[in-house]
Amino acid sequence: MAEIILHHYSTSPFSEKVRIALGLKNLDWRSVEIPVIMPKPDLMPLTGGYRRTPVMQVGADIYCDTQIILRELQRRFPALPLTPAGHEGVAEALAFWADRMLFWSAVGVVMGAIGDKLPAAFHKDRAEFSGRPVDPARLKAMAPAAAGQLHAGLVHVESMLADGRAFLLGAQPSLADVAVYNPVWFVLKRLGAPLPPLDRLPKIVAWAGRMERIGHGRPTDMTAAEALDVAERAEPDAPAGVEDGDPSGLRAGMRVSVTPDDTGKVPVTGELVTLNAREIALRRSDERVGTVVVHFPRAGFVLAPAS
């Protein structure tokens, strides 16, 4: 099988979610460091415009968004399952809640504390990314409210750990753990000591220590140019196809666009090759890498016919 290549940067919390999953599965993988802000000229030939971090590449198959990245890791490496049997729905639902709710409260806490120390180019980029102005003074004023929201979410997690279990769904770590760890890690790493609201959540702080000890598996560095060469030499895997009776009415071979519905709303266009409740995949061509298939989760993405 082709190597797992993760396009990421060290301070990215969504990347940490994937790095810990790679650690849980004890995998070898290749690490390509990408820029923290746009432009990302070596990523665009692979994704066709998707700019968010991280992106996973396996040969000429490109996986955008941690939902689909973790599902694909699970499909390719079923040992040490990320979604324990009988708890798949709970794990997926907790993960989506962590990505969409907890994460943004954590961003409010971190940006309130250190936003005024970050360069103007970062603020400008993240304003474009989020579609909202990024004003350090306003972020500082909003920080206590963000800490309150993060606490309101994390008390549910603290109470899950109250019976002494090691991880959120039991004795083994799962998708729910790596997803909730993303915002907790972000706050702990960026602020150092457990500051509000983590000072009131001792079980979560102890659990975060257990998560950190899982590690990242075995990464080795790869240059962006090498990763592009890998894609150029590879053929994409045979796609799963478009499920009969999909309510969109879209069919395999149609030209479509896929756009995140929350941040980094850059459409990616191509020929529809896979569509079901969990996945959308497009085939597209680029002069640097040739034909690639770009995979997205269905949840959180807008799929539309393209002209």
Ligand X SMILES: N[C@@H](CCC(=O)N[C@@H](CS)C(=O)NCC(=O)O)C(=O)O
Query: Which of 29, 58, 63, 65 contacts ligand X by CB under 6 A?
Result: 65
Query: Which of 53, 83, 105, 149 contacts ligand X by CB under 6 A?
Result: 53
User: Is 31 a residue that touches ligand X (CB under 6 A)?
Assistant: no
Query: Which of 88, 101, 129, 246 contacts ligand X by CB under 6 A?
Result: 129
| 302: phi then psi, degrees, rounded to nearest 5 | -100, 125
User: Is 57 a residue that touches ligand X (CB under 6 A)?
Assistant: no
Nearer to ligand X, 100 or 156 (CB): 100
Rg of the chain in Å (alpha carbons): 19
Beta carbon of residue 301, minimum distance to ligand X (angstroms, whole number): 9
User: Is 92 a residue that touches ligand X (CB under 6 A)?
Assistant: no
User: Is 130 a residue that touches ligand X (CB under 6 A)?
Assistant: no
- Interaction pattern, residues 214-253, with ligand X; x per rule: CB under 6 A: ----------------------------------------
Beta carbon of residue 149, minimum distance to ligand X (angstroms, whole number): 18
Count, residues near ligand X per rule CB under 6 A: 13
Amino acid at position 262, single letter: D
User: Is 105 a residue that touches ligand X (CB under 6 A)?
Assistant: no
User: Is 12 a residue that touches ligand X (CB under 6 A)?
Assistant: yes
Nearer to ligand X, 16 or 271 (CB): 16
Q: Which stretch binds ligand X (CB under 6 A): 64-72, 74-82, 163-171, 271-279?
A: 64-72
User: Is 14 a residue that touches ligand X (CB under 6 A)?
Assistant: yes
For binding to ligand X (CB under 6 A), which residues are involved?
12-14, 51-53, 65-67, 99, 129, 263-264
